[in-house]
Amino acid sequence: MSATSIRAIVLVCLFGAVVLAVEVLVRWFASSRAGDKAINLRLQMIGRGRSHGEAMNLLRRTESAIPQGLPPIIDGWARKLERTLMQAQVTMATPRLMLIVLVAPLVVFFLLILSMAASDMGISFGRILICMAFSAGIAGFLPLMVLNWKANKNRKKIQDQFPIALDVFVRGLRAGHPIAAALDLLTVEMPDPIGSQFGIAVDEVTYGAELRDSLQSMAERWDLDDMRMFVVSLSVQSETGGNLAEILENLSKVIRDRQSMMMKVRALSSEGRMTAVMLTVLPVFTFVMLFLFNSSFFLDVANDPWFVPGFTFLFVLYLIGYFTIRKMVDLKV
């Protein structure tokens, strides 16, 4: 057999191997995506084998009960954190998550102290303070900031989705579906986060709760006036009668007009909101990155007598600026 024939056979075999490998990769990708075809997180959890009750409890976060008897300030922070985790669609229990958030900075702090001791670097109060600040920033503050960003993103998304959900609900009513069936239509037609939230309400009704109470709980969890108006419309219609489809269609128009006004306000305040974001994130991000890539920039001056009061004063100024700017850009429409 000539060298040309051998080369041709090798090329054909190589081509066949590449085609086979590509086909295997495509099939693996398609099969892996098949389990994620569910339109929202609730349906994905049910598709993975969880019951409706388990999915409802995880998304509603009823297993993460806040202990009773906490001081008012701590209780308020705990409830705010619980709502943030629910809006961010975190399914991990709050005690476990808080344990991770509290332990991670301690682990980073002790690793820094051990590395300083291993490198024969002197340990002083200033260096301990700067290591504590770095540990709290990278393992505590930044993860909580990401959770808060995700919660705000989902909250804005559910505001944008709500008029569309009302339109789907109205079309279901006009097609002859009862209210419960029209709501169940939203659980399979709407993506996250509003699809999962209506799914929680439908599951609560299935387990014996009143429809009005379930929808009111959903409105309170997300603290949205649009949902409260929806609940009031259903309550008034159930007591006095009337064309519910027409009522909700008018409500959808009112919500869209209100959102249009809110978008104008957001456009006019975009500069201030972006300034608030930059002034909040940039100092922490700069400090963490500088400490990671050039830790001697801080550690070499940490032994100076003025370092501790100066660093503490800067931290206090940062907190004052954070709360002041946040209050300035928190516009109510």
| Phi, psi values for residue 92, rounded to 5° | -75, 140
Q: What is the pLDDT of residue 121?
A: 76
* Rounded Cα distance, 238 and 291, in Å: 61
CB of 129 closer than 8 Å to CB of 137? no
- Kindly report the number of other CB atoms within 10 A of residue 76's CB atom: 11
Tokens of 268: 């006019």
Handedness of CA 34, 39, 42, 46 (dihedral sign): negative
Give residues with Cβ within 8 angstroms of 148, minimum separation 6. 84, 88
Assess contact for 64 and 93: CB atoms under 8 A: yes
Residue 160 near residue 194, CB atoms below 8 Å:
no
Give this prediction's pTM: 0.75
Please tell me the predicted confidence (pLDDT) of residue 35: 46
pLDDT of residue 2: 67
Give the whole-angstrom CA distance, residue 131 versus residue 4: 68
Distance separating alpha carbons of residues 163 and 263, to the nearest angstrom: 15
* Side chain identity at residue 74, one-letter code: I
Q: Which of 125, 155, 327, 131 is nearest to 226 (CA)?
A: 155
- Asked if 247 contacts 237 with a C-beta cutoff of 8 angstroms, the reply is yes
Place of tokens 């959890």: 45
- Report mean pLDDT in 10-residue bins for the chain, 333 residues: 70 75 76 58 80 79 64 76 84 78 86 82 82 85 86 89 90 86 85 86 86 87 87 83 84 88 83 83 85 82 84 88 81 65
Helix residue ranges, H only, the chain: 3-34, 41-47, 52-60, 72-87, 94-118, 125-136, 142-174, 179-189, 194-206, 211-222, 225-240, 244-268, 270-293, 296-299, 307-329
Residue type, 256: R
Q: What is the pLDDT of residue 16?
A: 76
* Encoded amino acid at 298, one letter: F
- Residue 324 is predicted with a pLDDT of 86
DSSP result, 234-254: HHHHHHH---HHHHHHHHHHH
Q: Looking at residue 10, what is its pLDDT? A: 67
Contact between 64 and 100 (Cβ < 8 Å) = no
